[in-house]
Amino acid sequence: MNSVRRPAVQNLSAWLESTTGDLVPSAQARVRPEIEAHYAEAVQSQLSRGAAEPVARVAALADLGEPRAAARRFRRQYLTVKEAREVTHWLKANRGPAQLMFLGFYFEGFRFLLAGPGWKTSDLPARFCLAAVLGLFLIYAGTNLATLVLARRPATLKTRRWIFLSTAINWWNWGMLNLIWCYVDESNGRYDHGWPFFINVILPVVTTIMLVLTGYMGLHYLRLRKKIATLGDHDFDPV
C-alpha cells in the first residue's frame, strides 16, 4: 500500500503560483524552469519504480517541499514585486532634494553636539567623540553627495548597488551618531538640572530603539543590494 502524503496544493501550477507568485517576473523566469525540471525528474523516477502516474505526480509534488517554506526561501533569495517597487521609489527619491535635506538635518545634529560643554574639556573621551562625529559627518556627506550624482545618471546595476550600499552605511551612521549623542548628553550634564527622568530613562530607551531601528534598516538595504546583484539591468523598469 502506497502511503504518499498528499500535499496541500494539488498540482504543479498551483505550487509554483503559491511559492513564486510574489517574485518579480524575471526571478520567476529563473526559478520556475528549475522547479519544473526537478518535478519532471521526480515523476519519471516514480514511474520507473512502477508507481501509477497520479501517484507519481503526488509524490513528486510532495518532494518539492511545503509551499510556504519554499516561498519564504525564494523571497529571501530573490527580489519580490513589493521590493521592486521600493527599489524604484528609492531611486527616484534620491534624484530629488531629499539627500540635501537629510544632509542639512545631519549637519544640525552635528552642530548641536558641538554646542555641548563636554567638547570644551581636554579629556581623551571627548576628543575621541569629536573625531568620531567629524568622521561620521564626512562619510555621510560624501555618500549622500555621491548618491545624488549617481541617481541622476542612467540607472545601471552598478549605480543601483552603490545607492543601496550608501543607504545602508547612512542608516548605521545615524545609529552611531545617536549613540555618541547619548553619551555626550549624559557625560556633559546637559539635562542634569530638572531632567533626571529624561537622562536616566527616556534617553537610553530612545537610543536603544534608534540603534535597533538603524541596524535593521541597514541590513534591510544590504539585503536589497544583494538581491539586485542577482538580476540584470533588463530586469528593472526605467527610472
Residue-wise pLDDT for 30-84, tens only, equals 899 999 999 999 999 889 988 888 888 888 888 888 889 999 999 988 888 888 8
- Positions of the chain with pLDDT under 50: 1-4, 191-192, 238-239
Q: Is 213 exposed, middle or buried (0-12, 13-18, 19+ CB in 10 A)?
A: middle
Q: How confident is the model at residue 1, as a pLDDT? A: 41
For residue 226 the three cell numbers come to 544583494
Q: Is the pTM of this model over 0.85?
A: no
Q: Are 146 and 172 in contact (CB under 8 A)?
A: no
